């Protein structure tokens, strides 16, 4: 039985009015305050069907948000994939060839391969490299609670805790293990990282609440680093609840077309140590610890793509 498609509560907008930016790169808009301060990048549409980033970026531009200090850059990344969206197959426009969020290493960016995603990453390379702080806005295929994803760097954790929403954090001590994401490009992938570099997963791709959260978190992020003042907006309910933190232990990349989970999952299910999580051909994926929590389980297995993240709760 095929999984029913989720309702599409947020429709893709025509982004052509945003194509001509002001730094010579399509869909990139930069605003300088003329005052000392950090350079903050808010990036949308790293994956073409993750509409919440589009909602947040267009909101910032439509409302004329300008930095009080430092510099604000707003970018739309994989617009070509976004423009391929088909409501009959809403998950297919995530990418055209490569996952734009796994190719930010010199091996890929300076390598011989070519694709729409590689061409776009090479265009955006100086944009990402110029930023002190990065907010990369994403969403999930399944309707799970929103969460942060970030390398285990103090400034990331401090920012997530201070912002307060989402209240769930996935911390990456060793990176993803399946490629280099945008938030670990260049200096941000080193011990000398210039600032925070974080992904926010805002909820299910096409839910209205996901776009609403993305708009709020984008403003929260800018306010945290002093670029704007928040005189209104919704109060983060999560500031009044305990924060949950998980450590990424392993990213499983699918090896066989018959990859299957041992039971139905959407994310945040827990498994006891040694309990079967999934099978991938002749290999068994078992929980490496008690209270092993899985995140981002694949909705439709594809060989060479990520199948599931294994994590453990942190005190």
pLDDT at 312 over 80: yes
- Mean pLDDT within 291-312: 96
Report the alpha-carbon distance of residue 305 to residue 254 in Å, rounded: 6
What is the model's pLDDT at position 242?
86
Tell me the pLDDT tens digit for each residue of 228-258. Answer: 998 755 555 445 578 999 999 999 999 999 9
**Phi and psi at residue 294, in whole multiples of 5°?**
-95, 145
pLDDT surpasses 50 at 315: yes
Distance between terminal CA atoms of the chain? 40
* Calpha distance 163→306 (Å, rounded): 29
What pLDDT score was predicted for residue 238?
A: 44
Containing 151, the helix (H) or strand (E) segment is strand 147-151
How would you write 226-276 as a 3-class SS string?
Answer: CCCCCCCCCCCHHHHCCCEEEEEEEEEECCCCCCEECCCCCCCCEECCCCE
Distances (CA, A) of 308 to 38, 123, 286: 35, 30, 12
pLDDT of residue 289: 97
Residue 171 and residue 194: Cα distance in Å, rounded?
18
**42-77 pLDDT per residue, tens:** 999 999 999 999 999 999 999 999 999 999 999 999
Q: What is the mean pLDDT of the chain?
A: 95
The answer, yes or no, to whether residue 211 has pLDDT greater than 80, is: yes
Q: What is the pLDDT of residues 87-132, one digit of tens each?
A: 999 999 999 999 999 999 999 999 999 999 999 999 999 999 999 9
pLDDT of residue 2: 56
Q: Which position has the token pair 């808010």? A: 42
Q: What is the pLDDT of residue 61?
A: 98
- Stated pTM of the model: 0.95
- Mean of pLDDT values over 174-199: 93
Please give the Cα distance from 200 to 42 (Å, whole number). 11
Confidence of residue 174 (pLDDT cuts 50, 70, 90): confident
Are 256 and 298 contacting, i.e. CB atoms less than 8 angstroms apart? Answer: no
Mean pLDDT of 305-309: 97
By percentage, how much of the chain surpasses pLDDT 90?
Answer: 92
Q: How do 197-204 and 133-140 pair as beta strands?
A: parallel
Instruction: Give the model's pLDDT for residue 67.
Output: 98
The arrangement of strands across the sheet holding 276-280 comes to 260-261, 276-280, 283-286
Q: Are strands 270-271 and 306-314 parallel, antiparallel or unpaired?
A: unpaired
**What's residue 1's pLDDT?**
41
User: Which domains are present in the chain?
Assistant: 16-240 (3.40.630.10), 246-314 (2.40.50.630)
Token pair of 176 as six digits: 């993803």
- In this structure, the strands spanning 270-271 and 197-204 are unpaired
Task: Report the distance separating Cα 62 and Cα 71, nearest Å.
Answer: 18
**Mean pLDDT calculated for residue range 26-49:** 98
The b/e string for 100-125 (b: 16+ C-beta within 10 A; e otherwise) is bbbbbbeebbeeeeeebbbebbebbb
Pairing mode, strands 71-76 and 147-151: unpaired
For residues 220-226, average pLDDT: 98
């Amino acid at each position: 039985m095929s999984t029913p498609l989720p309702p599409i509560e947020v429709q893709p907008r025509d982004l052509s009015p945003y194509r001509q930016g002001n730094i010579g790169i399509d869909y990139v808009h930069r605003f300088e305050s003329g005052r000392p301060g950090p350079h903050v990048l808010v990036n949308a549409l790293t994956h073409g069907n993750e509409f919440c980033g589009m909602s947040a970026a267009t909101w910032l531009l439509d409302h004329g948000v300008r930095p009080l200090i430092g510099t604000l850059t707003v970018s739309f990344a994989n617009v070509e994939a976004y423009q391929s969206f088909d409501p009959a197959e809403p998950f297919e426009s995530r990418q055209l060839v490569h996952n734009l969020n796994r190719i930010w290493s010199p091996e890929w960016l300076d390598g011989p391969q070519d694709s729409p995603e590689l061409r776009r990453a090479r265009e955006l390379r100086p944009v990402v490299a110029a930023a002190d702080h990065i907010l990369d806005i994403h969403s999930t295929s399944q309707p799970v609670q929103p969460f942060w994803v970030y390398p285990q760097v103090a400034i990331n954790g401090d920012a997530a805790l201070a912002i307060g929403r989402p209240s769930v954090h996935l911390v990456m001590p060793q990176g993803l293990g399946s490629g280099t994401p945008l938030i670990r490009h260049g200096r941000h992938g080193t011990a000398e990282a210039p600032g925070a570099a974080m992904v926010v997963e805002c909820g299910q791709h096409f839910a209205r609440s996901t776009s609403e959260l993305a708009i709020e978190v984008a403003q929260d992020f800018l306010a945290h680093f002093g670029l704007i003042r928040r005189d209104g907006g919704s109060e983060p309910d999560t500031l009044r609840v305990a924060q949950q933190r998980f450590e990424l232990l392993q990213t499983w990349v699918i090896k066989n077309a018959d990859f299957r989970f041992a039971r139905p999952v959407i994310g945040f299910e827990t498994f006891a140590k040694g309990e079967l999580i999934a099978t991938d051909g002749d290999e068994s994926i078992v929980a490496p610890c008690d209270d092993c929590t899985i995140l981002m389980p694949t909705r439709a297995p594809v060989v060479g793509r990520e199948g599931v993240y294994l994590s453990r709760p942190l005190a």
